[in-house]
């Protein structure tokens, strides 16, 4: 049996000022010391219960963030992606609201637009593109976009997040029917948001069981 | 860095006599020697160019089969799934027509229904269930079911495969519109299938570029 380097990398995504952004961290060791990269690290066989657990641990250690939603993305592998040798990185993606990143107040987290071309080490560009593509396609038929909003939101706010990720305008009536069908939200009694000349809008939050577990639609939005 | 065992496992699926079946092989070594299991093996850092390449090599070595379509499924990991130690298996699934398995004529391949409860070693039951679930949901919006048919097929035959995988009847007109939209088939000039009292049906095959590359629909069938 040959020695294979086993790591996890995490694509931590958030929405900020209407732009989908990814969290990068300056690497504190070789290879690529000092370069901005996706947070990542070795799997620790003495403490991790599986690769998802490793990804949650690495994210917490490196950024201070407990991801409310983190999912396995895919494995990236080969002899050349890491100068240390043949490696497999099991990439995950996590979604958080900007508030969570902001309150983690980690001095070294750099948020950059996912569309902004920047040079990333290893095959992190490819991992990032795979994550964004997965998020966009899965938004069509799941509660995924909810993890990018704040803890509470109005239905028009949520619809705008879905539209932003899917890249298309959605019909309000059919959007609300699908959201009702997913049965993942609860109205917060007595809480409304007042914006401009509109009448106050009911505030919603994810039902507790869906805060860490995705809800899916059989048919897309 | 701790030693992690890195393997690939392959869920090889086919349709036979109207049943979705998985190919199992008797293990020729410990652990679980003599037990039927998914074909699998170690990643070889000296010869595999990535994990997909490892999966194709292991499948070919163990079953003699070159999979026309093989895709990464997910990683399965932890300290307890393999008695040899903390392990990651990067599971793949492959789809072939029954003819391909039949002509490989491998004496040790055992085809069993994916729904038939049977005891499988490691976490192979969970890997199998994940593969079947992925196949069923992805059939809705991709050319995946085509890889289970023979090399040539009529549109009614293809529709039956889609219906079988999706578990529901499909409207013939809308099915054909979606298939046309995917633009993945070509009619074989002058080849028809005559069945019973029906008029001869045109035979189709996958266009060459889609024989190993999936075609996707933006919206499901």
Mean pLDDT of B5-9: 97
A217 → chain B, closest CA residue? B137
Q: Do residues B148 and B114 share a domain? A: no
Contacts of B203 (CB under 8 A, 6+ apart): B152, B153, B154, B187, B188, B191, B192, B193
pLDDT at A131: 97
The pLDDT assigned to A50 comes to 97
Of B45, B50, B219, the CB nearest to A2: B45
Which of A101, A116, A139 lies at the terminal end of a domain, its last residue?
A: A139
The answer to whether residues A109 and A13 belong to one domain is yes
> A2 and B86 in contact by Cβ < 8 A?
no
Evaluate whether residue B162 is within a structural domain: yes
Collapsing DSSP states into helix, strand and coil, what is residue A78? Answer: strand
Q: Is residue A187 part of a domain?
A: yes
Q: Supply the CATH number for residue B166's domain.
A: 1.10.10.10
Return the pLDDT at A117.
62
Q: Which pLDDT tens digit goes with each residue over B10-48?
A: 999 999 998 999 999 999 999 999 999 999 999 999 999
A 136-165 residues inside an 8 A Cβ radius of B: none
Distance CA A101, CA A68 (A): 12
In a domain, A217, yes or no: no
> What is the residue range of A167's domain?
144-210
Overall domain count for chain A: 2
Span B165-182, pLDDT tens digits: 998 999 999 999 999 999
| Main-chain phi, psi angles of A19, to 5 degrees | -125, 140
Q: Is A46 on the interface with B (CB under 8 A)?
A: yes
Last residue of a domain, one of B104, B119, B134: B119
With contact defined as beta carbons under 8 Å apart, do B158 and B145 qualify? yes
Asked if the model's pLDDT at residue B2 lies above 70, the reply is no
Q: Is A133 in CB contact (< 8 Å) with chain B?
A: no
Q: In terms of domains, do B114 and B154 share one?
A: no
Nearest CA in chain A to B136: A218
Q: Are residues B12 and B81 in the same domain?
A: yes
For B138, name the nearest residue in chain A, comparing CA atoms only.
A218
Tell me, yes or no, whether A68 and A19 share the same domain: yes
Tokens 């490691």, located at residue: B122
Cβ distance B112 to B118 under 8 Å? Answer: yes
* Pair (A33, A80) in one structural domain: yes
Angle between helices A155-166 and A124-139 (to 10 degrees): 130
B13 lies in the same domain as B115: yes
B78 and A CB contact within 8 Å: yes
Partner B, chain A 162-221, Cβ-Cβ below 8 Å: 219-220
Measured in Å, how far apart are chain B's first and last C-alpha atoms?
47
For B188-219, write each residue's pLDDT tens digit. 999 998 877 778 899 999 999 888 788 887 77
| CATH classification at residue A133 | 3.90.79.10
**Number of CB pairs < 8 Å for A and B?**
71
pLDDT of residue A116: 79
CB contact under 8 A, B88 and A1: no
Domain identity same for B89 and B185: no
Q: Is the pLDDT of residue B149 over 60?
A: yes
- Best mutation site among B44, B50, B127 for testing chain A: the one with the most A CBs within 10 Å? B50
Q: Is A19 exposed, middle or buried (0-12, 13-18, 19+ CB in 10 A)?
A: middle
In this complex, which of A42, A45, A75 lies closest to B72 when CB atoms are compared?
A75
Same domain, B13 and B53: yes
Q: Cβ of B1 and A5 within 8 Å?
A: yes
Task: Out of B6, B45, B220, name the one closest to residue A220 (CB).
Answer: B220
Interface test with B, best of A1, A71, A84, A142 (most B CBs within 10 A): A1
Rounded to whole angstroms, the Cα distance separating B67 from B14 reads: 11
Residues A90, A106 within the same domain: yes
| Residues B162 and B135 sit within 8 Å (Cβ to Cβ) | no
In a domain, B128, yes or no: no
Per the CB < 8 Å rule, is B88 touching A6?
Answer: yes
Contacts of B127 in chain A (CB under 8 A): none
Last residue of a domain, one of A88, A106, A139: A139
Min Cα–Cα distance to chain B from A142, Å = 13
Q: What is the pLDDT of residue B140?
A: 87
Query: Considering only CB atoms, which chain A residues are within 8 Å of B142?
Result: none
Tokens of B28: 């020729």
Q: What is the pLDDT of residue B117?
A: 62
Averaged pLDDT of chain B: 92
User: Are the Cβ atoms of B77 and A50 closer than 8 angstroms?
Assistant: yes
Residues B64 and B158 in one domain: no
Tens digit of pLDDT per residue, chain A (221 long)? 568 999 999 999 999 988 999 999 999 999 999 999 999 999 999 999 999 999 999 999 999 999 889 999 999 999 999 999 999 999 999 999 999 998 887 788 999 999 976 789 999 999 999 999 999 989 988 999 999 998 899 999 999 999 999 989 999 999 999 999 999 999 999 999 887 777 889 999 999 988 878 888 777 66
Out of B27-36, B69-78, B113-122, least confident range? B113-122
Inside any domain, residue A216: no
Is B112 in the same domain as B11? yes
- Is there a contact between B88 and A88 if contact means CB atoms under 8 Å apart? yes
């Amino acid at each position: 049996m040959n020695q294979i380097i086993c790591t996890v990398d995490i694509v931590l995504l958030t929405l900020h000022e209407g732009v989908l952004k990814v969290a990068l961290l300056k690497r504190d060791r070789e290879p690529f010391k000092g370069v901005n990269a996706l947070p990542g690290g070795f799997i620790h066989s003495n403490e991790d219960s599986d690769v998802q657990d490793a990804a949650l641990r690495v994210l917490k250690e490196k950024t201070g963030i407990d991801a409310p939603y983190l999912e396995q993305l895919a494995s990236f592998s080969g002899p050349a992606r890491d100068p240390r040798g043949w490696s497999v990185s099991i990439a995950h993606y996590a979604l958080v609201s900007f508030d969570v990143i902001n309150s983690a107040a980690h001095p070294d987290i750099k948020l950059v637009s996912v569309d902004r071309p920047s040079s990333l080490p290893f095959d992190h560009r490819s991992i990032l593109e795979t994550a964004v593509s997965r998020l966009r396609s899965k938004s069509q038929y799941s509660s995924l976009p909810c993890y990018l909003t704040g803890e509470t939101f109005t239905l028009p706010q949520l619809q705008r997040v879905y539209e932003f990720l899917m890249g298309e305008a959605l019909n309000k009536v059919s959007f609300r029917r699908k959201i009702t069908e997913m049965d993942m939200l609860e109205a917060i009694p007595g809480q409304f948001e007042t914006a401009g000349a509109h009448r106050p809008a009911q505030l919603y939050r994810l039902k507790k069981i869906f805060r860490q577990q995705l809800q899916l639609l059989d048919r897309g939005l």
